Every structure is written in structure tokens, then in C-alpha cells.
Homo-oligomer: A and B are copies of this chain.
């Protein structure tokens, strides 16, 4: 049994080809992906609807989390630590580079001082757009 098969089972999901390939895509690319991104990575492989439902299931079961951005399309990224169906919290910063168009998770966590009083927080999003260090050095050349 492969590591990806294991990951699906341990999160309470059936092992299917579509799920293995989508999970693989996220692991290989290590950037956030939207449904249209995945269609480009896996052309003529699965139906659009299958990919949408795979992403939906992955979010429900703590394999992926959604990223709120300004693009309109919903981007997803791998949950780094022990997320599951019931514990699924994402307080880290996401960075999107407008040159290479990559969105990545970071280890930078949201500071506690920012939490609002009286509001019951269920979902958090910390997101920045700009230019990543790689693309900055390429531009200077």
C-alpha cells in the first residue's frame, strides 16, 4: 500500500484513481491549485465534476484547505499537519506571487492579538499578494 493510499484511508476516504492522481498533483507541485489548474495537469483523465467532488471531499476530510484570494477561482492547498474531519484549523500566512502566479503556504502564524472580541471564529484566512524573492531577483537582472 502506497503512502498516498494510506493517506486517503487514514482520512476515512475510499481509494480511487481520481483521488490518488489529484493528491499526487498537490504533492508534486507543492503550490496551491484550483480545479482548472488540475484539469491542465491531468488532461483527458477525469471529468470536471469528478475533480470538483474530489476537492470537496478532500476539504471535508482534512487533506486540503481552501485559500481565500482575489482571483474568483477557489484555490486549495495541502494541510500540513494533522488535520482531519473534526480538527481543521488554518492560521498560517499564504503568499501569492503575481509574476510566477504561485500561491504557497508559509510557517508564519497569525498573531493572537488580532483575534476579535465577541466574534466566534471558525475559519481564518491570512493572505498576501506581491512578488516572491525569486521573481524579484530575476527582475533586477
Contact = CB atoms under 8 A, between A and B. Distances in A.
Find the residue from A66, A68, A106, A126 having the highest chain B CB count within 10 A.
A68
Interface residues of A, number: 34
A38 interface: no
A128 B136 contact: no
21 contacts: A68-B68, A68-B69, A68-B70, A68-B127, A70-B74, A72-B72, A93-B114, A95-B116, A97-B119, A110-B114, A111-B111, A114-B126, A118-B136, A119-B131, A120-B130, A121-B128, A121-B129, A123-B128, A125-B127, A126-B127, A127-B127
Interface of A: 66, 68-70, 72, 74, 93, 95, 97-98, 106, 108, 110-111, 113-114, 116, 118-133, 136
